[in-house]
Amino acid sequence: MGGAGPAYYGDKHHPPWRVAMNEKHAIQVQAESYLDQNGVEKLRRVRLDSRQIEIAENIDQWHGPDYRYFKVRGSDGSLYIFRQNETQGDWALMMYERAVAHRLHDD
């Protein structure tokens, strides 16, 4: 008999987050952006190596010295933070949080 158990996010084999870049493999990032009605740059889609991701939601953006950061949700439900080098124009994936289904109860 299953009762309502605790909800959880991820498990020991599939953590809800992981860093997508390391010293052995740098992911090539290409981004397509647009200006919204207020003239603010937003991401439309990104390509990570050969994988294309449509942007479902532009959540936030902020500036650092010579960099701009974009926090977005992809059409895959995952969260991403991208960094654009404003002087060189290149992009980097800084954070990736995989979309994970929530487990509501045990059966």
Domain annotation covers residue 41: yes
Domain annotation covers residue 63: yes
- Please determine, for residue 102, whether its predicted confidence score (pLDDT) is greater than 70: no
Contact yes or no for 84/64 (Cβ under 8 A):
no
Domain annotation covers residue 104: no
- Predicted confidence (pLDDT) per residue in 41-92, tens digit: 999 999 999 999 999 999 999 998 899 999 999 999 999 999 999 899 899 9
Q: What is the C-alpha separation between 66 and 87, in angstroms, rounded?
A: 6
- Predicted confidence (pLDDT) per residue in 27-40, tens digit: 899 999 999 999 99
Beta pairing partners, 46:
31, 53
Q: What is the pLDDT of residue 9?
A: 35
Domain annotation covers residue 8: no
**Greater confidence, 103 or 85?**
85
CA distances from 55 to 20, 65, 77 (A): 18, 25, 9
Question: Within 10 A of 46 (CB to CB), how many other CB atoms are there?
Answer: 22
Banded pLDDT at 26 (limits 50, 70, 90): confident
Query: Which residues constitute the domain of residue 76?
Result: 29-97
Tell me how many domains the chain contains: 1
